[in-house]
Chains A and B, each alone.
Chain A
Amino acid sequence: MSEVLARLVRSPQGAIGLGIVSLVGIAVVAGPWLAPHDPNAISILARYKPPGGQYLLGTDQLGRDLLSRLLHGAQSTVIMAAIATLCGTVMGALIGTTSAYVGGRTDDAVMRTIDAVMAIPSLLMSLLVVSMLGRSQANAVLAIAIAFTPGMARITRSVALAVRKQDYVSAAIARGEGTAYIVMGEMVPNVVAPIIVEMTIRVAFSVMLFATLSFLGLGAQPPTPEWGLMVSEARKFMHLSTWMILWPCCAIALVAIGFNLLGDGLRDALNPRT
């Protein structure tokens, strides 16, 4: 593990990505303690403040400190998005790898089903799930996970098909290994690199999808300092203070870039041959 970390830090994109994601991680873990103000404290006299002075990043339409809201919001935004992506990835990876390994009619059936599910846009899919299960943060996580599964399954399968042809899989079959070991022990470790890259990109999408669900009133509810919700609330007051919409957007972008760079770095670091 430390070996991978050392390789990760050696590449510039890995080092920067790790730096940004660590910063985000600190905000997630220690955000509430680091925040200078109460994120929900309203101050009528200090509305639409630009950055500076008492409020480091300025204030919103109710005079709430933007920095404190961002720091508090990191928890609900990033953790939920990451969990949703992780669930979707794990489900997709298992379905894709198993389908590629089993092959034949089963593979046909699984992949055509996935094609059908993929025809539904992921936002629509998550809306459907949330409206069926009821609105709550946990259901939103589940909805995004389900929306991400078919795409991940497809990507994993395309990589797993190449792995399936490798002789070490043939050797395992000839040795009499069971399906579970071949999929988990021989194949999954060899498809993990592209999955990780794809997953990190999807964390960013997941943040956006979460924000959209919140915007439509199906995810986080006001006054929760969720980043997506902050963006959609700030839209109405954009002409009064640009900072209000800029900071949460920047936070989302930073998370997206950070995870992307980390993914790139990990791809190289996880491959022991390079």
Chain B
Amino acid sequence: MSDAPILAVADYTLDYRTRLGAVRALDTIELTVGRGEVVGLVGESGSGKTSLAWAIMRALPANAIELRGTIRLGAVDLRAQSGTDMTHIRGRRIGMVFQDPAASLNPTLTLGAQFVEALTTHHGLSQAEAWSEGERMFARVGLADPPALMRRYPHEASGGEKQRVIIATAFACRPELILFDEPTTALDVITARQILDLFLELQRETGVASLYISHDLAVVSQIASRVAVIQRGRIVEQGGVSAVFARPAHAYTRQLLAAVPRADRRLVAEMSGHGKQLAAVRDLTVRYGRPSLIADLLGRTKPMVTGNRAISIEIRWGEILGIVGESGSGKSTLARALTGLARFEGSLLFDGKRIGGATDMTGGYRRDVQIVFQHPDSSLNPRQRIRDILGRPFRLYGVPDGRPIAEAIADLLRLVRLPAEFADRFPHQLSGGEKQRVAIARAFASRPRLVICDEVTSSLDVSVQAAVIELLVDLQRKSGAAYIFISHDINLVRQIAHRIAVMYRGELVETIAPEQLSTHGPTHPYTAALMAAVPTIRAATTHAGGTS
């Protein structure tokens, strides 16, 4: 850093006015981003990362109260700027890339028009100049056939393509600073990897200063030169990436680092010998889509979408079977077929009995096979108290040992390490991790023999994820139930699975034991790509995206 920083936030404190009084969102924030520097801002949800981004962009919600501090962009005091002044700064001097590319593009304008608009407003280019610049930039960010893509609408492009367009727009305006707010979180693993590589390349080329906000420590360790760790609105630690990740000074940083899944740290005991078969799936195929009545009458048939194609796999008693793959690979479809939520073809053998479809799934099967969903917000009915949610399986399948239901519910809550008083609460009064524990408790109420965990930790923060995984492993040991553990995070699956099944585009490409994965490496190229795409913490080595 030769001269004054591009962005300097000093002593910045922000409150939100709520019905319950003022809530501190940011507390005496001190943060600088130098010329050509990438600073990572790491924190869990609710830590104030995004609030800081909005404060820099001067787009705070109406109930925000700025108590003190300054935000400077070069020599300009952003807090002193009027609304119209800020419109000249936004886009031209500060760019922003959001988490969800689908939500940050206007669905009624073509991708080209949105790119052109940014350049004509901020740099006074003519339509034609901006259009040809667009074609050049689209090619630069690795988009195939830029002239055609520029005429397409957002819904005609994939998530990765949309995020590339947004990044192209942000870089094309040549701002001094770009804020990235979790730009890869909404994308699947391999696309995210490509976007990260693109970011590094463009950043190196243009030397623009970046503030990269993320919850993912591994991503930040790979792209940032300095990192700031934020906890409940306070920056607890900041410094060079290698220093912070190799020798974290603050307890919170250490806790975060410890919670990151590492493939070489196994959390489960190995299976003793070859277990007996619990369930076997042969040539399971799931097709989605239903022709409408009118299309049917007109004799038009639409091809159905295949969710799963001829999957064959078996699950043994007490085994944890991990299933990994990117989004759209058919992992959840398999879970939905096994729980009777999706119609399937092929055969399913459970405990020796043949299950041909949802109608064959009797009370006994339903009791033995339970599912835990990804989003606890969605899987717990917001109008029911925890007592009613947990009481339902008991009413359906009966209470073990004929005890009163209230007692059984209290036991169940204790089993997932929640206080028994939670029975009186509504789901919205619980945190994300607590809600997911309730969902897990509900699955275990019927004493199942197979529990399907469908991305159960994906919506949770990394430290909460570690606690939930530990709970699941503990429950598995106590109950002896088999798990089908579905995740996009191959490192996490490698920690807890006895066998790993890799899925790609609805097909099962490989089933492999984690030991074999560590010793011999993957046999299928897709597994190799998946392993390469998942970022791992890079602390000791020097990194590429530093200052020049």
Prevailing SS type, chain A contact patch:
helix
How far, in Å, is A180 (CB) from chain B's closest CB? 13
The CA-CA distance from A146 to B383 in the complex, in Å, is: 29
Which residues of chain B (351-378) have a CB below 8 Å from chain A? 361-363, 366-367, 369-371, 373-375, 378
Stretch of A14-22, A171-179, A209-217, A242-250 with 4 or more beta carbons under 8 angstroms from chain B: A171-179
Interface pair A171/B373, CB less than 8 Å apart: yes
Q: Are B383 and A171 in contact (CB under 8 A)?
A: no
- Total interface residues in chain B, CB < 8 Å: 31
User: How far is the CB of A196 from the nearest CB of chain B, in Å?
Assistant: 13
Cα distance, A174 to B371, chains bound together (Å): 8
Closest to A174 in B: B339
Q: B396 contacts A177, CB within 8 Å?
A: yes
Q: Which residue of A lies closest to B392 (CB)?
A: A175
Note all chain A residues with C-beta closer than 8 A to B363. 176
Please indicate the chain A residues that have their CB under 8 angstroms from the CB of B339 in the complex: 170, 173-174
Q: Is there an interface contact between A186 and B393, defined as CB atoms closer than 8 Å?
A: no
Q: Are A104 and B290 in contact (CB under 8 A)?
A: yes
- Closest B residue by C-beta to A181: B392
Does chain A have a CB within 8 A of B340?
yes
| Chain B proximity mask over A171-206: 1 for CB below 8 Å, otherwise 0 | 111111100000000100110000000000000000
| Binary CB contact string for chain B from 377 to 403 against chain A (1 if under 8 A, 0 otherwise) | 011111110000000110010000000
Question: Which residues on the A side are within 8 Å of B378 (C-beta)?
Answer: 166-168
List of B residues within 8 angstroms of A186 by Cβ: 381
Interface residues on A, range: 10 to 19
Residue with the greatest number of chain B CB neighbours at <10 A, chosen from A108, A170, A171: A171
Shortest distance from the beta carbon of B460 to any chain A beta carbon, whole Å: 15
Cβ 8 A contact of B375, one of A167, A172, A175: A167
A239 within 8 A of B: no
Please name all residues of chain A whose beta carbon is closer than 8 Å to the beta carbon of B336 when the two chains form the complex: 170
Q: Are B383 and A189 closer than 8 Å at their CB atoms?
A: yes
Q: How many A-B residue pairs have CB under 8 A?
A: 62
Taking the closest CB of chain A, its distance from the CB of B162, in whole angstroms, is 23
State whether A108 and B292 are in contact (beta carbons under 8 Å apart), knowing that A171-B371, A176-B363, A272-B426 are contacts in the complex. Answer: yes
User: Which of chain B's residues has its CB closest to A273's CB?
Assistant: B428
B442 within 8 A of partner (CB):
yes
Complex-state Cα separation, A171 to B290, whole angstroms: 23
Indicate whether A174 sits within 8 Å of B381 (C-beta atoms), given known contacts A272-B428, A273-B428.
no
Cβ of A167 and Cβ of B373 under 8 Å apart? yes
Determine whether B540 belongs to the interface, using a CB cutoff of 8 Å to chain A. Answer: no
Once the chains bind, are A190 and B383 in contact (CB under 8 Å)?
yes
From B341, B381, B428, give the contact of A168 (CB < 8 A): B381
A167-B379 contact in complex given A105-B293, A272-B426, A272-B428, C-beta closer than 8 Å: yes
Assess the A174–B380 pair: CB atoms within 8 A: no
Q: Which residues of A contact B370 (CB under 8 A)?
A: 174-175
The complex places the Cα of A189 from the Cα of B363 at a distance, in Å, of: 26
A252, B367: Cα distance in complex, Å:
55
Given A167-B373, A167-B375, A173:B341 Cβ within 8 A: yes
Most buried by A among B293, B367, B381: B381
Beyond A171-B442, A174-B371, A176-B363, is A190–B341 a contact (Cβ under 8 Å)? no
Name the one of A168, A177, A273 contacting B379, with C-beta atoms under 8 angstroms: A168
Contact with A along B31-45 (1 / 0, CB 8 A): 000000000000000
Among all A-B residue pairs, the 10 with the closest Cβ atoms: A176-B366, A167-B379, A189-B383, A174-B339, A167-B373, A167-B378, A168-B381, A273-B428, A166-B378, A174-B371
A-B contact pairs, 15 of them (CB 8 A): A105-B293, A108-B292, A168-B381, A170-B336, A170-B373, A171-B379, A173-B340, A174-B366, A175-B392, A175-B396, A176-B363, A177-B392, A190-B383, A272-B383, A272-B426
Interfacial residues, chain B to chain A (CB-CB below 8 A): 290, 292-293, 336, 339-341, 361-363, 366-367, 369-371, 373-375, 378-384, 392-393, 396, 426, 428, 442
